[in-house]
Structure 1
Amino acid sequence: MDSQKSAQDVLRCNLCETPVPPLFCDLCHINLCRSCAGDHLLDESKEHKVGEFWHREIDTIMKNLQSEIDDVEFDQLSAFDKEEEKLTTKLNEISQVIEYIMHLSLDWKNSANCPHSLSSRYQVFFPGRINRDHLQEEFGSLSKPSMTKEERVYTMDQPSNKSFLEDPKVINSINTDYYQLYAVTCLTDEEIWTSGSDDIIKLYDSFKGILQKSVQTFSGNIPSDIAVTESGDLLYTDYNDRSVNIAKEDKIQQLVRLEEWRPQSVCHSSSGDMLVIMTSDDIKETKLVRFSGSKEKQTIQWDDRRQPIFSSGDQMYICENRNLDICVVDCGAHVVLAVNAEGKLRFRYTGHLSSTKGWFCPAGITTDSLGKILTSDSDNDCIHILDEDGTFLRYIDSCDLQGPQGLCMDSKDHVFVADSKSGTVKKIQYYK
């Protein structure tokens, strides 16, 4: 029978046409019976590689499989799932082919004793069901590519929906003995640090208004701003001394000493870093610096067009929002602005047009659990509430504020306001 014209003929030795040859030369690409294999290997004019015929198909399949796996490129993490799906589909197909070849190999081996059995019928493949749960056991699995850029991921509890009170109300007042009160920051829901017109930083019970503790600045200068670390230590900036300091276990330690720059406002970020906004000695430049300990980690100063983001003023206050935006009060420019964690400008807010309010004069800033931004307006004796994109939402102007400046928030979204003219800290409820 002509093997080139018959679709039902069995495989034959290429040298003697013996049916079902058990061997194959990978280099010459011919089928060999065992008798002809010896003569073929004696031909020293070329190299030979003779092996079991049924291994040939499996080796070819596995080489192709490895080639396909090697060709998969995971340039972007977002493309991984698509590539994995393609590869899983290919593994299914290959699994079926291998199963078929394994059946053929048994038939080839059996036909060595009964060479006419294969020529007596035409083989048909009936594919079985592939259990996807066992693919990894059979073929292994690919790990997801690692990211080359270090990224920090923050998770935030989703707060419940809250609605504004029609009329925000003062639920507590704490009288301090400052001639003028500038800053307030929460240590806990029960304790607040305050600073004002002298070199003493004071800790008050936020319910009873009782003085708990006092810390004097190391230099004797009035602190520019105060903040609290995640571990509960007090941070303060000393504009005249060019330093950022920490009060820890009744001892004051200098964390950062600047040259040619003076620190203004400080806050502790959710990542554990310290954010400091500072002004050059000649008050011509302002920049925001992220510190890891005492080491500079990031500087934010210019926009994409190499224009300054901040004005050349000497009154700046900062806080970090829950979306990791850094919100800044630029008093000299009468603006509130926000940059994202990479330092890209997000928005500028220059006040809300109102027939009852005068020139916008921001003097303090904080954010709540829903990402709302609160900024005090010392000239108009009110607080502006913005959404996280800088859109005006409403005023808090019904609480008899007198020159409000520093702001901070407790865990229940009560805002503490440093009333500079009265020397009083007011605790205000503005959500229902």
Structure 2
Amino acid sequence: MDPRTSAQDVMRCDLCETAIVQMHCDTCLVNLCKACVGDHISDESKDHKVVKFQSRKSTLLHPPCTLHDNKRCEMFCEQCNIPICSACIVSKNHSGHNILEIIEIYNTKKMEIESKNEEMRKSIYPTYQDIASDVEKRISQLDKGYEGILTAITNHGEEWHRQIDKLVKKLKEKVDKMKIRHNSALEKHRAEINQRISDIDDEIRKLAKLLESNDISLFTHHENTITKFRKLLPKVDASFPVFTPMKFQEEQFHKLFGKLSTLSLTSEENGYNSKLKQISPEAGSSPPVKKLLNEPETDTTIDTKFGYLYNVACLSDEQIWTAGNNSSMKLFSINEGTLLQTINTESWRSPDAIAVTKIGELVYSDEYEASVNIVKNRKIETVIQLQNSKPKGVCITSSGDLLDIICSIGYNSKVVRYSGLTEKQIIQWDDEGQPLYSYSSGSKYISENKNLDICVSDWNATAVIVVNHAEKLRFRYTGNTSAQNQRKFSPYGITTDSQSHILTADYDNNCVHIIDQDGQFISYIYCGLSQPIGVCIDKNDNLFVALRGNSKVKKIKYLH
């Protein structure tokens, strides 16, 4: 085997190509053996820096001057932004300029490049790997997602077939009953006609016999019966029922059968920025750490005077929106406890959930109208209209998107993310294809955590279900199993604070659970709560709890 072409061969001198490399010229970036060093440095046009091979590239190579031959630039002119040599300085072309040693520029640039390399390796590259994994996951879920749509269409079609078959059967049974009645009437009429024919036949025989007789008394006592026969029996008839099929109108039929939304493909310029911010070293500082108070304390209590209170949402540090068991949504002053404004839903039914946008507009879901609506200048606009589905909990994300829990008739619930009117994301299944949320349309509330996790309290599932921004299930919290004398966990309202704590109202146990962002139980908040149902947090981490039992809102301090 030729040692020069063998994959296991050692490095050879770049000049003689036979001897083993021992030296290296940092100026020319050439590998040399000791015997060839003399020949290499004989070229005096360059300032050769020959070092041991193990120490290659240890000598900084200063750039050659573009104006002066055989000169290396050891300085740097900040005004001209170019490397310069000693001859350039003597020439006074850079007189009065700020001159730095080029090694300073090198060290500064090297630190910048090292920082960029660190960010590329530890932040940007892993982010793109996560994005690629996310795209792969979404591609892998295409079949399942579209299979669900096809199954829904098929099931709906089969249901229509069943209803049509049922209707056809009912109409046929009705026709059969009509036929029986029709036939019975004609049979009875036929019997009457046959009886009359038989009577006439008897009368004809009697008259013929009389005509053969010469007994005058028979003729004188003969009764005239022909009048009875001259009066014909009434005609019994019935017209056949007529089936009038409705004219088939394809457009109207499509509207009745169901609507398939269009495929919305969008390319969002900053769609992945939130992923990068989570791990980027330049993402900004974390919020200050706040510790829990030893004993949470009630700061304010507001009487909303609803029959039953269900929801609360913070508008500001001074005002909160509330909603209960009627159509009104009431805005209260927190400090004064006074009613400031009342808005009624368009359906005049109780809203299922309320939230406030980043610019202070009230949003509410209406199960009766199957819609999500926004209040702008006291006027209500429908932003989402659903078909065969019911909106439940709603929340506004840190990016301004709207998250809505949707319960479809006959199907598992799902979380849908909207940007304006555009449906951006659907969260419904875990990695094993199992539903994340319960089938029933019972109470469900939703909130986004500071780490962009999506948190849903599912009363029917007796659990808080948390998924990350990429739809991956992080954990299910089913209550504090170590607690004594506790009733079954009964989660309703849910919210999060600046520490990424998750807080959920436990209706049956008259308390609020605090858990960390990884689903670990931290503490309870009691504070004399009676049937807590709705919760929200203001920007100062004050907790507001809507109490169904007495229709009051409690403002609670629980963090230092």
After TM superposition, is the score higher than 0.5?
yes
Q: Which residue of 1 aligns with 2:453?
A: 325
Q: Which residue of 2 aligns with 1:387?
A: 516
Which one-letter code corresponds to 2:412 in the other structure?
Answer: E
Check 1:96–1:382 CA distance in 2 against 1; reply closer, same or farther (3 A cut).
Answer: same
Q: Which residue of 1 aligns with 2:403?
A: 275
Q: Which residue of 1 aligns with 2:105?
A: 133
Instruction: Say if 2:406 and 2:414, in contact at 8 Å, map to a contact too.
Output: yes
Instruction: Name the CA distance, whole Å, in 2 between partners of 1:339 and 1:385.
Output: 18
Instruction: Name the CA distance, whole Å, in 2 between partners of 1:6 and 1:370.
Output: 67
Q: Which residue of 2 aligns with 1:366?
A: 495
Q: Tell me if 1:412 matches 2:540.
A: yes
Instruction: Name the CA distance, whole Å, in 2 between partners of 1:412 and 1:194.
Output: 19
The equivalent position to 2:556 in structure 1, one of 399, 413, 428, is 428
**Structure having the larger proportion of residues in strand:** 1
Which one-letter code corresponds to 1:312 in the other structure?
Answer: Y
Give 1:97 shift. Answer: 8.5
Instruction: Name the CA distance, whole Å, in 2 between partners of 1:259 and 1:294.
Output: 15
Give 1:176 shift. Answer: 1.0
Check 1:291–1:130 CA distance in 2 against 1; reply closer, same or farther (3 A cut).
Answer: same
Q: Which residue of 1 aligns with 2:485?
A: 356
Q: Tell me if 1:103 matches 2:74.
A: no
SS in 1 for 2:273: coil
Which one-letter code corresponds to 1:331 in the other structure?
Answer: W
SS in 1 for 2:70: helix
Give 1:156 shift. Answer: 6.4
Q: Deviations over 1:131-152 (max 9, x none)?
A: 3626999xxx999999986522
The equivalent position to 2:507 in structure 1, one of 367, 378, 398, is 378
SS in 1 for 2:545: strand
Instruction: Name the CA distance, whole Å, in 2 between partners of 1:162 and 1:198.
Output: 38
Check 1:134–1:338 CA distance in 2 against 1; reply closer, same or farther (3 A cut).
Answer: closer
Taking CA–CA contacts closer than 8 Å with sequence separation of 6 or more, which of the two structures ends up with the larger relative contact order?
Answer: 1
1:17-56, aligned counterparts within 5 Å? Answer: none
Q: Which residue of 2 aligns with 1:230?
A: 358
Give 1:163 shift. Answer: 2.6
Q: Deviations over 1:54-105 (max 9, x none)?
A: 8xx9xxxxxxxxxxxxxxxxxxxxxxxxxxxxxxx97976646999x9539x
Q: Which residue of 1 aligns with 2:273?
A: 152
Q: Which residue of 2 aligns with 1:313?
A: 440
Instruction: Name the CA distance, whole Å, in 1 between partners of 2:364 and 2:501.
Output: 25
Instruction: Name the CA distance, whole Å, in 2 between partners of 1:179 and 1:260.
Output: 30
Give 1:159 shift. Answer: 3.2
Instruction: Name the CA distance, whole Å, in 1 between partners of 2:58 and 2:324.
Output: 71
Any runs of at least 4 consecutive aligned residues in structure 1 with deviations exceeding 4 A, and if so which? 4-12, 89-99, 134-137, 141-150, 154-157
- CA RMSD in angstroms, aligned pairs only: 3.5
Instruction: Name the CA distance, whole Å, in 1 between partners of 2:491 and 2:286.
Output: 29
Instruction: Say if 2:365 and 2:393, in contact at 8 Å, map to a contact too.
Output: yes
Give 1:196 shift. Answer: 0.5
Instruction: Name the CA distance, whole Å, in 2 between partners of 1:202 and 1:277.
Output: 23
Give 1:347 shift. Answer: 0.8
Check 1:224–1:92 CA distance in 2 against 1; reply closer, same or farther (3 A cut).
Answer: farther
SS in 2 for 1:131: helix
Q: Which residue of 2 aligns with 1:289?
A: 416
Q: Which runs of 5+ in 2 are unaligned?
A: 1-15, 17-34, 47-55, 72-100, 132-270, 278-282
Instruction: Name the CA distance, whole Å, in 1 between partners of 2:460 and 2:37.
Output: 90
Check 1:297–1:220 CA distance in 2 against 1; reply closer, same or farther (3 A cut).
Answer: same
Instruction: Say if 2:311 and 2:353, in contact at 8 Å, map to a contact too.
Output: yes
Give 1:334 shift. Answer: 0.4
Q: Which residue of 2 aligns with 1:298?
A: 425
Instruction: Say if 1:96 and 1:130, in contact at 8 Å, map to a contact too.
Output: no
Instruction: Name the CA distance, whole Å, in 2 between partners of 1:151 and 1:258.
Output: 28
Give 1:161 shift. Answer: 3.1
SS in 1 for 2:445: strand
Q: Tell me if 1:345 matches 2:312.
A: no
Q: Deviations over 1:319-356 (max 9, x none)?
A: 01111111110110100121111111111111112213
Q: Percent identity?
A: 40
Q: Which residue of 2 aligns with 1:24?
A: none
Check 1:92–1:180 CA distance in 2 against 1; reply closer, same or farther (3 A cut).
Answer: farther
Instruction: Name the CA distance, whole Å, in 1 between partners of 2:103 and 2:41.
Output: 32
Check 1:103–1:135 CA distance in 2 against 1; reply closer, same or farther (3 A cut).
Answer: farther
Give 1:130 shift. Answer: 6.2
Q: Deviations over 1:34-70 (max 9, x none)?
A: xxxxxxxxxxxxxxxxxxx98xx9xxxxxxxxxxxxx
Q: Which runs of 5+ in 1 are unaligned?
A: 13-19, 21-52, 58-88, 105-128
Question: Structure 1 length normalisation: TM-score?
Answer: 0.68
Check 1:8–1:287 CA distance in 2 against 1; reply closer, same or farther (3 A cut).
Answer: closer
Instruction: Say if 2:64 and 2:70, in contact at 8 Å, map to a contact too.
Output: no
Check 1:279–1:102 CA distance in 2 against 1; reply closer, same or farther (3 A cut).
Answer: same
Instruction: Name the CA distance, whole Å, in 1 between partners of 2:305 and 2:38.
Output: 106
Give 1:306 shift. Answer: 1.1
How many residues align? The count is 329
Check 1:90–1:305 CA distance in 2 against 1; reply closer, same or farther (3 A cut).
Answer: farther
Q: Deviations over 1:228-278 (max 9, x none)?
A: 000000000011211110001111111011122211011000011111111
Larger radius of gyration: 2
1:67-82, aligned counterparts within 5 Å? Answer: none
Which one-letter code corresponds to 2:348 in the other structure?
Answer: G
Instruction: Name the CA distance, whole Å, in 2 between partners of 1:156 and 1:268.
Output: 22
Which one-letter code corresponds to 2:320 in the other structure?
Answer: I
Instruction: Name the CA distance, whole Å, in 1 between partners of 2:414 and 2:40.
Output: 83
SS in 2 for 1:355: coil
Give 1:390 shift. Answer: 0.8
